[in-house]
Structure 1
């Protein structure tokens, strides 16, 4: 499920500027004065000048003693001494290579031993995380630059072997192996086919919901490549039309629309059949690894654990309530159960996505205490130690430093709206490496001797600082001081708490500049509300909310029950019953806002995108909902229309939870919506299909109702091409102005 502040995919097809349709299918015509030109201040808040700068492609080298960065022009990779932060040398200059000449690179990756660099250009997004690109291999000593493959001009998910002498990559759903010493290429698989079999990279659902773009792993001795095969031949097909448009025209559709088709399993339908395979580099033979449990539905991860005889296969049941780890010898294919982790509701995604392996133990995240904490296990499956504890959640695990016997992690230990980076040693002593108030995250060198902290709060734009452990500052990499100055007079988030059904909720508001408490202001409620998500965070943010505040609105955001950072009891209440408690809490938040002396209780609107769009529809349909207008972007309108992994994680299947699906569908409450409603969607949304919007509109028409609708042809879930997001927020502001001012 997508959040609007993420970086979204462009997909492989083009995007086009929007046009407006009414829900009753009549064309809504506006004069030029109704368009984006009526908002001369929009670029200050939605233009590129609002973005914080970050160190470009900052990467620690293998030994941690050096780091590299990409030059601003994308032509050079420059090495720095990590201990001093001083420049050492230019490792790669595209103006000084042999054999092949390219103008610039989009990114790079060093081989493990540091003698080669894999670089790429012309990356094209496939889905949210995946992309194909033109890859090249650069030999540092000889300055030789060559295409990774001439047989396959575009490649996907390339992976160096541990010794840096081979690269496995995917092209057209098959895995290929490039031996760099001899510059030979051979096929590892041959059965890959579009919408049928995928090797080495995940299908759409795995990529989206298990947050991965590669399904290959090398053995530590370089002799075996293991991978996951996805047989999606029985997964139902989904398709949507493609049009010519006017921005980057798809000329092949100038007279007739085309069609984009892919495999997308909706709740209750068949998933890809997944299997794990091992490829022997020497004899070129492949074996399938047979796991003993026939009830395995998902294999979200495979990874070697410091031994060529120990491949860890992570498995889940369909309900995602039970994880079992198997330790497999890829040569014999013998698999033994290593660990079983179960939870009464859904397992935390960190439990199976963020396991880290070390020579003598591994570390998992578990919710068994009621909060997400770290646990250390031996390879016999015995619990060695609970690493963290307390009434807070660990939100990221960075790794273990064997020299200092210290685990490093991010948590909510200083409050749900904050994120602090900490270390805990063998005695259980915790040391914070970042400020206690604000949002901090870290990137560590492989030896854990150095780290970079990214920090921001409501008053501080992101800063990037290089340290050595423990907490010795080396260099400020970026402080975004110019950004801070540019928005120095922009109102910041003000945090508050309120109650709903006796439960305390966190919230913030953004007030207009020159706020006058004796006036009455309209309010726009913003929320996302999805399970485990958080919007109420003590972080820097400049965007549409600040723009609306500059136009006289108060923005109010409340994280209701089901959201993250506050333990499992707060989250689990929504299990098998999405939309119920979240909408109760959003209505309560609107009523709280209405009670404030400076709020006009008759001018309160609500907005959300994706899950937030879904929740907008649910909240607006509650009896007595106090909204003067509602705007839902890319909303789910029935969980039966969404993908298996996400929908079933929280709702089980429709066959198991028929009442829950019926009660959670905005489609069933269209006649309850009493305020003006605007829905916006992209017709090429591969995530929350435009089909959701069409079904909702159809239900509204059948009920004798109408709403307003803005359609973005050929655009995906982000509605972000051709500056279309500006149109989204400009149209929304215009809609609130028309109905609430």
Structure 2
């Protein structure tokens, strides 16, 4: 049905006035949390699969409790434990149950160490007797209850200990721990950062053996950062950080027998990395993953804890590198589920207990993007994938024979699932570019909706009062590839006018920025820039993820070559659009994205007039071994790959406006990168702007730091585009 002509006339008259009444986004709102989404509190599924627990915490009143709810009704059925100083239960901020749910470990006074590691004071509360015991008088790391809840293993002072809760007796498992020398039971800096785990010990299912890793980092070079603080003198913070080509920790595997009180080393044949250890269902069988230094040969071993015999279950080889994941799952009969890119895309495989492949469970030109688990009752595997488009995510299940695939999630966008312990239910978190996170409860068997839990509708209503433009998804043909792209145009976009173009990207191996999901803080900033008359675009070039192994790994040995070529060519193509001013093109990025934006303004100096680089790598020679050598091998083996793609070697090509930003206490991408870039620019006598935030890490946050940073970047964009 056609609308009356007078409606269009009215819109022509009133449209601009209505648009003018809408507010522009402000940096104070963006970084003050005005557009934050409401989320569900982190929940823990109980073993019965019908209930879950939630931590209720009031930091101002210093009160906390663990409350039990029913999935089906969402009604609270019990409060399991609550802080109460009168009975020795302190205010706690985290908790973990024992496997039999008879005891709960309570975390208090937790302090960060690095990205994932923490120190804290911990208590064990017995849910049957009501007794509460402090684990150690010291600040400890990674306390973990034994399966029966009778013991706690933990690390203090780089040594591993076991507390027997009934006897009150502490057993010291190791005694050679030493800062910046020997670490037992937790990982060193580079393992924590790049293999994404901290706790390097595991209980077996019987609770009578501990497998643990020992890191000898005495040969690893030290890195020092000045901490400025508020005192009269700064002081150095020193830690072991192996840069590309330098020595790594020597890592060994050990087994501690609690009954015998003895520790034995397992001979794995001198592996370079041990990125995962995991007990199988059999209490004497331990699985161990090892990698060579190039990370192109992974071996999954089985260790017999009784005899120390080691056998090979499977091997993975790749011309580039093999991914390390947490997807390995042992079925009750010790068959196991494994993910691999061996057919060109990341898929699920089922192997027999001896390691031979039984079934390929998923297949096709798409990726399994998350693995959720296996239900022995229904004999189904649950996972997330990009089957319906590389910028989307949906939840599926498939049988353990690879048959009967079912889609379980609704909507067109991004779904993430949290399953109950017995896979009766899952809570789905759905969002897309138009829909903020919506939380719904579903039955896992068929995906049927049980109830909506939260929908963030108030945020959508609030945003109606602001100038927002649609994020438009499309593809762009660049250097022979169809690349995913999004674009945000000004709200009052007029195709007859010319607009500056500001590009955003990250571009790191396997990453993705072009995805159909709800906004993050940068999206609001990009919307704010669009309201100032700037077109903002993002293109995922070669090397990014979700388009198969070959697309992702084409950048091997040449980080920063093909990715930069794609961004420069994309900018050229977009600059040919009739509404883009080719004389005003900028690009920005953080971390890997800062490395990219620096290279783009130097190697693409005829295309880009402006760039912002936040916390950039400026030479991969400065970055850590595990990440860098995975993609580049060592500098000795691949000097040209390092140097031909380093912004340091092209500083003399700078023509446009360049802003360089770093945190002085960045333990990840060291401020050394920026200092060397500054030196190169000074030598080339090139003008630039820069800022260093004292004692800020890689995230450059805390207090009003983010607001200050984005105020600076906004000014730089508006002045130079």
**Structure 2 residue corresponding to 1:193, chosen from 169, 178, 193:** 178
1:375 corresponds in structure 2 to: 349
Within 5 A, what are the aligned runs for 1:15-414?
41-73=26-58, 75-95=64-84, 99-102=87-90, 104-150=91-137, 152=138, 154-244=139-229, 249=230, 251=231, 254=232, 256-292=233-269, 294=270, 296-350=271-325, 353-360=326-333, 361-414=335-388
Runs of 4+ in structure 1 off by over 6 angstroms are none
Contact 2:57/2:93 (CA < 8 Å) preserved in 1? no
Q: Unaligned 5+ residue runs, structure 2? A: 1-23
2:437 corresponds in structure 1 to: 462
In structure 2, distance between residues paired with 1:477 and 1:72: 20
In structure 2, distance between residues paired with 1:91 and 1:492: 46
Moved more, 364-373 or 547-556: 547-556
Shift of 1:624: 4.6
**Structure 1 residue corresponding to 2:476, chosen from 498, 507, 519:** 498
Q: CA RMSD in A?
A: 1.6
1:478 corresponds in structure 2 to: 454
Is it true that 1:661 corresponds to 2:635 in the alignment? Answer: no
Shift of 1:731: 0.7
In structure 1, distance between residues paired with 2:449 and 2:570: 42
List per-residue Cα deviations over 1:261-313 (Å, max 9, x = no partner): 00000001110100111111112111111113x3x210001000101121001
1:21 corresponds in structure 2 to: none
Within 5 A, what are the aligned runs for 1:514-533?
514-533=492-511
TM-score by length of structure 1 reads 0.90
TM-score by length of structure 2 reads 0.93
In structure 2, distance between residues paired with 1:101 and 1:324: 45
Shift of 1:714: 0.8
Q: Unaligned 5+ residue runs, structure 1? A: 1-38
In structure 2, distance between residues paired with 1:643 and 1:338: 30
Is it true that 1:726 corresponds to 2:711 in the alignment? Answer: no
In structure 1, distance between residues paired with 2:182 and 2:470: 50
Moved more, 225-234 or 619-628: 619-628
Secondary structure (helix, strand or coil) at the match of 1:507 reads strand
In structure 2, distance between residues paired with 1:511 and 1:434: 31
Moved more, 589-598 or 627-636: 589-598
Contact 1:639/1:647 (CA < 8 Å) preserved in 2? yes
**Structure 2 residue corresponding to 1:644, chosen from 607, 625, 633:** 625
List per-residue Cα deviations over 1:379-425 (Å, max 9, x = no partner): 21110100100000111111111221211111110111011111112
In structure 2, distance between residues paired with 1:406 and 1:101: 41
Contact 2:25/2:528 (CA < 8 Å) preserved in 1? no
Contact 2:125/2:131 (CA < 8 Å) preserved in 1? yes
1:36 corresponds in structure 2 to: none
In structure 2, distance between residues paired with 1:206 and 1:705: 38
**Structure 1 residue corresponding to 2:552, chosen from 555, 571, 579:** 571
2:463 corresponds in structure 1 to: 487
Larger relative contact order (CA 8 Å, sep ≥ 6): 1
